[in-house]
Amino acid sequence: MEKDAKIYISGHSGMVGSAIMRKLTAEGYTNLLTATHQELDLTRQNEVEAFFENERPDYVFLSAAKVGGIMANNTHPASFFYDNIMIAANIIHSAKQYETKKLLFLGSSCIYPRFAEQPIKEEALLTGELEPTNEGYALAKIAGLKMCEYYNRQYKTNFISVMPCNIYGPNDNYDLNHSHVLPALIRRFHEAKENMQPSVTIWGSGKQYREFLYVDDLADACLYLMNHYSDNQFVNIGMGEDQTIAELAETIKEIVGYEGEIIYDTTKPDGMHRKVVDTTKLNATNWHYKTPLKEGIRLTYQDFLKGNYREQ
């Protein structure tokens, strides 16, 4: 991308979008285009088309999304499906209509079948049933990446898709009813420490495996791929390593400095037993993550203590 090219970052105020903004600014890109939800409702086709007609972005990072953890996804599947499929359809179509040079669509590793062979290769897509607790969100993300693929085939666009593992870091959402597991645990251990609570209860058995990538590493990978990758096959982004939720909880407990007990509520769902992405394709491009999990959690907690987070 040219340093002075007009680059639109959708969802720029979210965790991923703000990390992409930081990375682009640090690398000397000077013409960054953003719009708040009040200025532009991405679920409204007429608003998105008018925005693209007026602004004509050269490049687009499609990082806007409605996101949440198991509770939020399981409780509001229609909202997660509608918002995400409309955001993707409106931006991708407008990018084609107004001749955007290149677009990067951010999906999620939850697109994969619940019983996919681990680590999960890109080829596992659509080979089995999805995890029921986040099916609505996953279907919307699958539609987005397929839309990129189909537009490339039919219209010769240059739209690429990436599938990150679980992302965490500065500017995360810490709402206990809507957040993902890592920020939720940071907040719960912190509040338990502050309130001298004897225990913290965690949903599920703690035996499920998850992979986490620091958000600034994701932003680095997205910029790298935007500049060096053009193909109809989407790319996994992750560490290629995972740990159990119980191991994650113990790490966060240590970093926060909480000394109470951890209780696992096995009446609550675990979600997929294991979810770690195969990063062979990404590593072949010469990109590798930089931030070890423990260091990333420490940086995230420091940011949390400064009050740099959102509540949905």
Known binding-site positions for NADP(+): 11-17, 106-109, 141, 164-167, 180
**CB atoms closer than 10 angstroms to residue 151:** 19
Handedness of CA 144, 148, 153, 155 (dihedral sign): positive
Cα gap 191→57, rounded to integer Å: 43
Which stretch of DSSP H or E encloses residue 45? helix 45-55
Coil, strand or helix at 12 = coil
Cα gap 217→168, rounded to integer Å: 10
- How does strand 209-210 pair with strand 243-244? antiparallel
Which amino acid is located at 288 in the chain?
A: H
Cα 245 to chain centroid distance, Å, stands at: 18
Annotated catalytic residue, options 137, 214, 258, 289:
137
- Name the phi and psi angles at 226, rounded to 5: -60, -35
Known binding-site positions for substrate: 188, 203, 210, 270
Q: Are 246 and 183 in contact (CB under 8 A)?
A: no
Residue 185 token pair = 């645990």
Residue 187 token pair = 């907040």
Known catalytic residue: 301?
no
Rg (CA), the chain: 19
Contacts of 200 (CB under 8 A, 6+ apart): 188, 189, 192, 253, 258, 260, 261, 262, 263
Task: Indicate which residues carry an active-site annotation.
Answer: 137
